[in-house]
Amino acid sequence: MAINQITVFLENKAGALLNVTKLLSENKVDLRAINIAETADYGLLRLITADNAAAEKVLKAENLIFTETPVLAVAIDDKPGALSSVLEVLAKENIDLHYIYSIFGNKDAKAYMIMQLQDVDKAAELLKQNGMTIADACDLT
């Protein structure tokens, strides 16, 4: 089951991240996951929120450029080797992993790997068949 991640394009300057997180906070949009990648000129702020429709409304009102992308959240045990077992399943089927980031310290003692893949649906089915848990946005609290 895919989760929709919002990617916001930000100017790479002091306060840009603060402006977005403050806007979302003021509009009661709860963040489930956050990641930022940057270049010299711009940043890519990746968000999973509790309410994407509300987040997108806020971002549009501020004329911020963003996209929505399906990603997988795979629950793994928070121990050495757990990620490798997920990656082995994907590699055996030649599924390309575009990027990954993680969320640790959840109430169920699991780590969640947020993955953007070449074929999200195929990857989800394959991982489930191999006994792995695909989480939804509610699981990321």
pLDDT tens per residue, range 23-40: 999 999 999 999 998 887
Please provide residue 14's backbone torsions phi and psi, each rounded to the nearest 5 degrees. -60, 135
pLDDT per position as a tens digit, 52-82: 999 999 999 999 999 999 999 999 988 889 9
Between the alpha carbon of residue 41 and those of residues 9, 11, 47, 123, 135, the distances in Å are 10, 6, 20, 33, 34
Structure tokens given for 86: 């997920």
Beta strands in 12-128 (DSSP E): 31-38, 42-49, 65-77, 97-103, 110-117
- Where do we find the tokens 């990954």? 100
